[in-house]
Amino acid sequence: MIGFAFIAISLFTLGAGLAAALMPKLIHAALSLVLAFGGLAAFYFLLGAEFVGLVQVFVYVGAVAVLVVFTILLTRRDVKAEARFNWSGVVVALAVLGALVWAILRTPELAVAAPDPKILTVKQIGAVLMTDYVWPLQCVGLVLTAALIGALVLVTEKES
Amino acid sequence: MDQIFVNLKQQLLAWLIHLGASDLVVQIASVLINIAGVLGVFLTMFALLSVLERKILGRIQNRYGPNRVGPFGLFQPVADGIKMLIKEDIVPARADKLVHFAAPILIAAAAIMTLGVIPYGRNMTAFVIDGGILFFFAVGSTTELGVFMAGWGSNNKFSMLGAMRAIAQMVSYELPLIITTLPVVMVVGSLMPDAIVDAQSGYTFGVIPHWFVTKPWGAAAFLLFFISGLVESNRTPFDVPEGESEIVAGHMTEYSGFKYAIFFMAEYFGMFAVSGLAVTLFLGGWHAPIGLLEFVPSYIWFFAKLGALIFVFIWVRGTLPRTRVDQMMNFAWKFMLPMAFTCIIAAAVWFYAGHGIRGWLASLAVVAAVYLLLSQMLDTKKKFAKRTYRFAE
């Protein structure tokens, strides 16, 4: 059952990813990317990482997707950009593929069994975030606040 | 009586096992029964509410409302449904067909899924999940994408403008909506809706329920949550995205027939979901208001509270005019957000000052101080001339 779900979600995510790369219209590509994000969230749920899955939906499908579509909307005048074939893309893709294959082949066999996977509850994650990882959390908060203030400074109209 | 639906489902599943169904089939059947229950109840409520809303609005505006189809116009939804079904489905020639088609589906699916995590009664949650509150907001946030798809797919300026307005207000008010749930989550220490309802059980002297709305921080958070809920479900006075005097019908301009009906349904389902969450978080979920009335089945209490909140939604719609876009945005960022953060602090004060009367007063003092300070700072000091009426007195 798990295996069947894994294959189904994999096919879905890969298909959505391929569509994101191949769709001629930019907005269709962006929406396909959102589907791929959703597939990834399904993977997290399958692995029992409920919190990570929910955050994936929350952040990527809810927020990043809106950011992407708005960026496309506000920067392109003609949304029907033609799809050109680009050789440099092929080179980059082959390079990434080669690096991954090389890394996989070099990895010795995973003889060690994974340590027993503990199901983390949201409460445990919250406790760890507030104790062991409180400084990284605060730093992220600071960066985001700075970004928010920066955005405000950029869009504020100067009073003449 | 209380567990009648739960027992019914158990018997149905026992019968399936008796027939020799495998574990997998029983599991799938259990999920399907839950889904059918939620959909059945809320589709019926949607049909009833669509006529009830027009009746109440009519009462507020001194007219009858629908009264032709069936007794008291009760069969109006059937007539509406048939009308919507047989209407021509018009898709604009230059529209992005696929996106135009997928948008209402996405919006409706998101609205229906959020209904799943709310506890409707004792042991009556359709989809029990550890991070239920998070699930609600995660799925709810996909609505924005659906609205964008509706606006963009229609290839119409009014649609796009309406979609952008809708997304702007949804993103702005999602912040206070989520932050006002935080004090409850902090005090309970769980993201599970059932645990939150459990934490609100019990009564002081048998009459004052331990609902979070009876605490100062809870009352403030409930009001903020309710206003944000009004915005999230695009209801008057915040129906700016579909302001018919300005941009036709916003992102729904190019939808007709059943697709339009689906948008309409999704709006009501969103209203049910946000009210249901408000009931769960602040109004004690399915608990009775006083100890003596605990014998009444839990789901009746839940739906009574839900009905009361929905009535306020309709009442507000009949009373207030539409706000302006800039007023609404200012309100979100300058008032709602600081007040939402104040609720967190007030809840912390209440929590650490002991849950007694001392904590209650200290918490009230925090909320009141910030409220007074904010209202002083946001006062524009504009003087308005006394309004004179020429035709009405």
What is the tens place of the pLDDT at every residue in B316-363?
988 888 888 888 888 888 889 999 999 999 988 888 887 778 888 888
Mean pLDDT of B200-223: 84
How far is Cα B370 from Cα B346, in angstroms, rounded to an integer?
10
Contact yes or no for B360/B210 (Cβ under 8 A): no
CB atoms < 10 A from the CB of B164, how many?
A: 20
Q: How confident is the model at residue B214 (pLDDT cuts 50, 70, 90)?
A: confident
Who's near B365: CB < 8 A, 6+ residues apart? none
Mean pLDDT of chain A: 83
Q: CB-CB: which of A1, A58, A66 is closest to B148?
A: A66
Task: Report pLDDT digits (tens) over B265-294.
Answer: 888 998 999 999 999 999 888 888 877 777
Q: In chain A, what are the domain boundaries?
A: 1-106, 118-160
How far is Cα B227 from Cα B237, in angstroms, rounded to an integer?
10
Closest CA of chain A from B138, distance in Å: 4
Determine what percent of chain A is predicted with pLDDT higher than 70.
85
pLDDT for residue B167 is more than 80: yes
Query: How far from B328 is each of A24, B241, B369, CA to CA, in Å?
Result: 38, 12, 23
Q: CB-CB: which of A31, A57, A122 is closest to B99?
A: A31
Q: Do B149 and A31 touch (CB under 8 A)?
A: yes
- A85-94 in b/e form (b: 16+ CB < 10 A) is eeeeeeeeee
The per-residue pLDDT for B226 is 92
The per-residue pLDDT for B1 is 73
Closest CA of chain A from B72, distance in Å: 43
> What's the topology of domain A1-106?
Four Helix Bundle (Hemerythrin (Met), subunit A) (1.20.120)
pLDDT for residue A101 is more than 90: yes
Closest CA of chain B from A94, distance in Å: 32
Inter-chain CB pairs, A–B, below 8 Å: 62
Q: CB-CB: which of A55, A62, A122 is closest to B144?
A: A62
Q: How confident is the model at residue B378 (pLDDT cuts 50, 70, 90)?
A: confident
Longest dimension (CA), chain B: 79
Query: How far from B324 is each of A123, B242, B267, B290, CA to CA, in Å?
Result: 41, 12, 21, 41
Would you call A28 an interface residue with chain B, using a CB distance cutoff of 8 Å?
yes
Query: How far from B281 is each of B136, B225, B304, CA to CA, in Å?
Result: 12, 10, 15
Measure CA B70 to chain center: 30
Comparing CA positions, the residue from B143, B147, B142 lying closest to residue B253 is B147
Mean pLDDT of A27-44: 89
How far is Cα B232 from Cα B253, in angstroms, rounded to an integer?
19
Query: DSSP state, B96?
Result: -
Mean pLDDT of B360-385: 85
Q: Which of A118, A122, A148, A155 to mutate to test the interface with B (most CBs of B within 10 A)?
A: A122
Q: Do A123 and B99 touch (CB under 8 A)?
A: no
Q: Do A66 and B142 touch (CB under 8 A)?
A: no
* Residue of chain B minimizing CA distance to A59: B138
Q: CB-CB: which of A31, A58, A123 is closest to B189?
A: A123
Q: Do B99 and A66 touch (CB under 8 A)?
A: no
Chain B residues close to A69, C-beta within 8 Å: 145, 148, 152
Query: How far from B121 is each of B247, B280, B284, B293, CA to CA, in Å?
Result: 42, 10, 11, 15
Mean pLDDT of A75-86: 62
Q: Do A55 and B144 touch (CB under 8 A)?
A: no
Highest mean pLDDT, choosing among A21-35, A73-87, B16-30: A21-35
Report which secondary-structure segment, H or E, holds B181: helix B157-188
Q: Can you tell me the ipTM of this complex?
A: 0.75
Comparing CA positions, the residue from A127, A116, A114 lying closest to residue A51 is A127
Bridge partners (DSSP) of residue B209 are: B203
pLDDT for residue B198 is more than 80: yes
pLDDT for residue A81 is more than 60: no
Contact yes or no for B278/B309 (Cβ under 8 A): yes
- Local structure of B102: helix, strand or coil: helix
Q: CB-CB: which of B142, B152, B190 is closest to A61?
A: B142
Q: Return the amino acid letter for B260.
A: Y
